[in-house]
Homo-oligomer: A and B are copies of this chain.
Amino acid sequence: MAWRTHTSRVVYENPWIVVREDGVTRPDGTQGIYGYLEVRRPSVVIVPITDEDEVVLIRTDRYTLGRTNLELPAGGTDGEDVLVAAARELREETGYAARELIDLALTTQLKGVTRAAQHVVLATGLHHVGGEEQLEEGIESVEHHPWSDVLELLRRAELTDGESAAALMYAAVHLGRVH
């Protein structure tokens, strides 16, 4: 037996998100409520890898976390084509343009309590063009980490951003670096 929805009401919304509370029957037949957040537009996370096999990461002041976070560049698609959005976010957050962008996967995030779609885009053939809007985005630094160092950051749990770890997995598999 699948989930059934009896009622659905919007309990909060703003231009970016909608929060709903639904009255449901669960797969086991019990009744209850289900509160969840829907992100209106798909987001995109970019894995920028330089010709020197470095990953471009940023440190961003994240309001939700109350601290600076080491992460891949990412942002909303604002209804644009995913590769257009990826190119824009990459430039705004790092000042780089890419000769090749590949949409590796359309993923879902935190599916227990959200409906949030996120594209993973691999960016290679990077060249610096400027045009960063980092202050607006809360970005404190743009860092180049050799691929092997990124693996070490993950192994030591110093890179803890789930979206970045997932995106790096899709990139690693695509590049034939996982066995």
Contacts and interface: CB of A to CB of B under 8 A. Distances in A.
B165 A24 contact: no
Contacts of A155: 173-174
A104 to B, nearest CB: 7
Given A11-B19, A154-B170, 19 more contacts: A3-B138, A14-B33, A16-B35, A17-B35, A19-B35, A30-B136, A36-B63, A37-B114, A39-B110, A39-B112, A64-B111, A105-B157, A106-B160, A110-B162, A111-B163, A151-B178, A165-B165, A165-B166, A169-B169
A124 interface: no
A16 to B, nearest CB: 7
A106 B165 CA distance: 12
